[in-house]
Amino acid sequence: WCGSLQAALVSPWMAPLRVDFGLLMEPLGFIKVLEWIFSIFAFATCGGFQGETTLLVSCKGVVNKTITAAFAYPFRLNTVVFSAPDPKRCGGTWTDVYLVGNFSSSVQFFVTLAVLAFLYCMAALVVYIGYKHVYQQNSKFPLTDLAVTVITAFLWLVGTFAWAKALADIKMSTGASVIAGIEACKAPGTTCRFASVTSMRTLNVSVVFGLLNMVLWGGNVWFVYKDTNLHNRPNRISQIR
């Protein structure tokens, strides 16, 4: 039994490799290429981000001292601390100040999904180009492709909106509103002013690519479905009748 199962799994890939780029000109292959490219942009614009929030602090013996809090992917902001204004820490009135929020779960889910989608697209393109005859002859492969496409489209929907919400919270936690939560800035003789925060345009772009991936994978469900016996079966039944 084990031997027959192994033979069933291996035998399709024992077929000779037949390189054919024709499928890439069809919607099924062309969309897969777009999914592959857009998944790269999704995790590349998000996973390598680094930024910092800058404040200007005036306190005992210090005038408009620049302090910074550097943050980066995966955005565990609650571990990021502002640098002290001076060695004497404003005469002892300055305490360690941390940013607020841990957004690692949302962004890591988004990046992991993009990486897995990238790997799956590469594998699918290899099958499309080199084993098109196997893909078309064995009904299990189109059905598997359909299941993966449906699940991935749904995960892009969930992951993109979760990451978009997390990004909005990150902007709040690193923007001018951060001063309101700093107790040291409320000490007598101490003033804090918001100076700047690193632009998050690339993170905005990552959300856009998440939406594009969601649309691509959702739209591709139809083209993958057309290659399955689920679509061909009604046509065969009507022909028999």
The domain ranges of the chain are: 21-229
Arithmetic mean of pLDDT over the chain: 85
pLDDT of residue 14: 53
- Average pLDDT in the 182-190 region? 87
- 65 in helix, strand or coil? strand
| Between 14 and 188, residue with greater pLDDT | 188
* pLDDT of 15 strictly over 60: no
Of 57, 79, 82, the closest CA to residue 69 belongs to: 82
Q: Taking the model in full, what pTM does it have? A: 0.83
| Distance linking the first and last C-alpha atoms of the chain | 39
| Between 164 and 223, residue with greater pLDDT | 164
One-letter amino acid of 89: R
Q: Output b/e per residue, 24-63; b: 16+ Cβ within 10 A.
A: eeeebbebbeebbebbbbbbbbbbebebebbbbbbbbebe
pLDDT digits (tens, 9 = 90+) for 64-106: 899 999 999 999 999 999 988 888 888 888 888 899 999 999 9
pLDDT of residue 237: 38
CB 69 within 8 A of CB 82: yes
pLDDT of residue 22: 67
pLDDT of residue 239: 42
- Lowest average pLDDT, out of 86-95, 105-114, 132-141, 197-206, goes to 132-141
pLDDT digits (tens, 9 = 90+) for 41-51: 999 999 889 99
CB 124 within 8 A of CB 142: no
- Lowest average pLDDT, out of 62-66, 82-86, 137-141, 236-240, goes to 236-240
Residue-by-residue DSSP string for 117-135 = HHHHHHHHHHHHHH-HHHH
